[in-house]
């Protein structure tokens, strides 16, 4: 209850010529008013007065009135005909209180409800900033504001306005190049994204609905991603130390629950397109999800998204600290392994062509191979970084090194360096474990410097050192073979064997398959030519047998010489008269080749 001086202050605008005959109590506020102005505008108060006509009601308590005493004061002013300004900061409350008090057109013309609705549709929904202000006011008016569709109208207006601004910005960046072609300039790419800062003041549930509506309207994924990054940085850094490890502020449980809700909501709103958000933001979001113990589905979704673009990550990104008990490893190796598995799986599924004809490309290396090489270097550096950890088990170290396919690493220097660091930090390994670990290295893919270091490395098993010396000897022979002439077959053969082995190791299975298809096609053409020649010989053989049966030996010899001339096995014609049959034979050969190739394929 408010004191008497407050009552006088609240009711200072009411005329005092007629004494009040009804007292309204609203959320601790008391208003001494008159029945007639209220009954003429409010259907709810009219019904309450009519129900207690016999007892001459003089006191009414309005429970759960939206907006509280301040909002009821505006409604009472409207009933008394006192002018006040409808703004974006009170229009949502006026819509809700007019519905609560039933101030509709059924009881009075141009009532408060219609006035507020008109302002909302004609003024607020035409301006994005005002829509955001109304949504902020609706946060304390739910679920009534949602039932009156105040929230949905503002959200639709924001999404439409942002989409229109983006289209207008795209048209403004169109310009003609020097060649006369129309293209979009790269300057001011985010001119139409000024709304990002405005949306960051919304509560997470309202923000989620706005972003969902923007996605449905076709707002660019890059703009959605930029808005998510901006919102996450503001919500997760202003109250806690999640993204600022140097800060030692203590956060309460309510703040932790709020941050957990923010992280899970942002994960669900991330665009499906690759590179729509920076990968360092994805890693930061994953760390926050692990610290806040978010749902497993959210963390797995983050790992899948990171795995799809792991080739653009850096070493600092994947060095995820372990948030478990003190006896565990310094870094979360299991999470990195799952991310790496996601990368390998999406590489196989997304890059797999629908038709085998795609393999016929003559390019020496495919985009997936480029990504594999980048990730292999990243993983080798990661292994070298985590290798000194005394708590890192051999199985976890090996599972990271074994996940990538064999053709991902064209050079094994990085892997050798990581294994050497692990052997140096874990000197208690058995000989069997050392052999298992060194089997991961292809010593033929070591550079000359790494091979020289490995040949003198006492930490390696004896078998590995022997392999290093063997391949070093082959490399030496290969370098010496360059000084031999082309007539010496032995060095040339050795050089071909070593170089072809390195080439096949660097080629991906897709490139090998394309080479096999080309060889297979050439063999089919050669087979078609042989079949054509065989058919010609069979026809000539039948003709010679028929001639032998009809004529004598003299005629047979002359016929035999003519047939030999028609065959022209060696491609030489002795007279002009034989040129015409040769042309006919060539036409027949080409037709037979076409039919044979078609039947073979």
Answer whether residue 512 shows pLDDT above 70: no
SS3 379: helix
pLDDT range class, residue 508, cuts 50, 70, 90: low
> Whose CA is closest to 379, among 397, 354, 361?
397
* Cβ(57)–Cβ(35) below 8 Å: no
* Three-class SS of 131-146: HHHHHHHHCCCCCHHH
List alpha helices for 186-295, DSSP H.
195-199, 204-217, 221-237, 253-269, 279-291
Q: Which two tokens stand for residue 35?
A: 């029945």
Beta bridge partners of 184: 174
User: Lowest-confidence range among 170-179, 217-226, 533-542?
Assistant: 170-179
SS3 455: helix
pLDDT range class, residue 256, cuts 50, 70, 90: confident
Instruction: Write down the pTM of the prediction.
Output: 0.71
pLDDT of 507: 53
Q: What percent of the chain has pLDDT over 90?
A: 45
Containing 361, the helix (H) or strand (E) segment is none
Q: What angle do CA 36, 40, 46 make, to 5 degrees?
A: 85
Domain ranges of the chain: 4-122, 309-353+364-468, 510-600
Answer whether residue 89 shows pLDDT above 80: yes
pLDDT of 600: 41
pLDDT range class, residue 325, cuts 50, 70, 90: low
Answer whether residue 75 shows pLDDT above 80: yes
d(CA 93, CA 67) in angstroms, rounded, equals 6
User: Lowest-confidence range among 106-115, 184-193, 478-487?
Assistant: 184-193
pLDDT of 543: 85
DSSP secondary structure code for residue 103 in this structure = -
Structural Rg of the chain based on CA atoms: 42
d(CA 361, CA 366) in angstroms, rounded, equals 9
Residue 311, C-beta contacts closer than 8 angstroms, at least 6 positions apart: 343, 370, 371, 374, 375, 378
Answer whether residue 423 shows pLDDT above 60: yes
User: Lowest-confidence range among 305-314, 459-468, 523-532?
Assistant: 523-532
247-250: long-range contacts (C-beta < 8 A, 24 or more apart)? none
User: Lowest-confidence range among 228-232, 502-506, 559-563?
Assistant: 502-506
What is the distance in angstroms between the CA of the first residue and the CA of the last residue of the chain? 93
* Cβ(152)–Cβ(146) below 8 Å: yes
Which class is domain 4-122?
A: alpha beta
Q: What is the pLDDT of residues 257-312, one digit of tens each?
A: 999 999 999 999 999 998 899 999 999 999 999 999 999 999 999 999 999 999 99
User: Lowest-confidence range among 55-59, 123-127, 382-386, 454-458?
Assistant: 55-59
Answer whether residue 590 shows pLDDT above 70: no
Q: What is the pLDDT of residues 137-192, one digit of tens each?
A: 999 999 999 999 999 999 999 999 998 888 776 655 545 455 555 454 544 445 55
pLDDT of 540: 83
> Whose CA is closest to 224, among 160, 165, 188, 277?
277
Q: What is the pLDDT of residues 98-109, one digit of tens each?
A: 999 999 998 889
Q: How many helices (H) and strands (E) does the chain have?
A: 27, 5
Q: What is the pLDDT of residues 21-30, one digit of tens each?
A: 888 999 888 8
Q: Name the average pLDDT for the chain.
A: 79
């Amino acid at each position: 209850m408010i004191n008497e001086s407050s009552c006088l202050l609240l009711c200072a605008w009411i005329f005092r010529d007629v004494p009040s005959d009804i007292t309204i109590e609203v959320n601790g506020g008391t208003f001494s008013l008159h029945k007639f102005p209220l009954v003429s505008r409010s259907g709810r108060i009219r019904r309450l007065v009519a129900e207690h006509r016999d007892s001459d009601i003089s006191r009414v308590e309005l429970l759960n009135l939206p907006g509280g005493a301040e909002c009821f004061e505006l409604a009472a002013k409207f009933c008394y005909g006192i002018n006040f300004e409808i703004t974006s900061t009170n229009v949502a409350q006026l819509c809700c209180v007019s519905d609560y008090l039933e101030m509709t057109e059924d009881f009075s013309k141009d009532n408060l409800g219609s006035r507020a609705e008109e302002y909302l549709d004609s003024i607020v929904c035409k301006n994005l900033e005002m829509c955001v202000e109304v949504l902020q006011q609706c946060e304390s008016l739910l679920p009534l504001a949602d039932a009156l569709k105040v929230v949905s109208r503002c959200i639709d207006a924001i999404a439409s306005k942002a989409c229109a601004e983006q289209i207008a910005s795209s048209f403004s960046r169109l310009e003609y190049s020097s060649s006369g072609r129309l293209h979009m300039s790269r300057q001011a790419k985010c001119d139409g994204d000024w709304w990002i800062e405005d949306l960051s003041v919304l509560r997470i549930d309202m923000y989620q609905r706005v972003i969902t509506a923007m996605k449905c309207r076709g707002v660019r994924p890059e703009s959605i991603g930029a808005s998510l990054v901006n919102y996450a940085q503001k919500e997760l850094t202003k109250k806690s130390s999640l993204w600022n490890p140097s800060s030692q502020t203590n956060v309460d449980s309510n703040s932790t629950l709020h941050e957990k809700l923010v992280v899970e909501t942002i994960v669900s709103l991330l665009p499906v397109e690759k590179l729509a958000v920076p990968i360092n933001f994805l890693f930061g979001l994953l760390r926050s999800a692990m610290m806040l113990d978010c749902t497993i589905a959210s963390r797995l979704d983050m790992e899948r998204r990171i795995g799809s673009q792991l080739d653009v990550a850096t070493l600092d990104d994947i060095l995820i600290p372990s948030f478990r008990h003190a006896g565990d490893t310094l870094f979360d190796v299991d999470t990195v392994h799952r991310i790496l598995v996601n990368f390998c799986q999406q590489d196989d599924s997304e890059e797999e062509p629908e038709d085998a004809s795609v393999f016929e490309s003559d390019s020496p290396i495919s985009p997936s191979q480029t990504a594999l090489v980048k990730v292999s270097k990243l993983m080798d550096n990661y292994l070298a970084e985590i290798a000194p950890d005394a708590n890192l088990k051999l199985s976890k170290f090996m599972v990271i090194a074994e996940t990538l396919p064999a053709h991902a690493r064209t050079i094994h220097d990085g892997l050798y360096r990581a294994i050497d660091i692990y052997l140096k930090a874990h000197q208690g390994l058995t000989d069997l474990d050392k052999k298992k670990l060194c089997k991961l290295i292809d010593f033929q893919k070591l550079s000359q410097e790494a091979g020289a270091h490995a040949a003198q490395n006492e930490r390696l098993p004896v078998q590995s050192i022997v392999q290093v010396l063997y391949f070093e000897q082959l490399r030496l022979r290969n370098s010496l073979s360059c000084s031999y002439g082309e007539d010496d077959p032995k060095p040339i053969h050795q050089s071909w064997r070593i170089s072809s082995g390195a080439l096949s190791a660097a080629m991906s299975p897709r490139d090998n398959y394309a080479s096999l298809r080309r060889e297979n096609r050439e063999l089919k053409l050669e087979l078609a030519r042989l079949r054509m020649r065989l058919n010609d010989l069979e026809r000539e053989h039948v003709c010679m047998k028929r001639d032998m049966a009809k004529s004598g030996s003299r005629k047979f010899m002359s016929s035999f010489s003519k047939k030999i001339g028609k065959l022209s096995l060696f491609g030489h014609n002795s007279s002009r008269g034989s040129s015409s049959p040769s042309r006919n034979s060539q036409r027949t050969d080409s037709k037979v080749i076409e039919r044979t190739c078609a039947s073979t394929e």
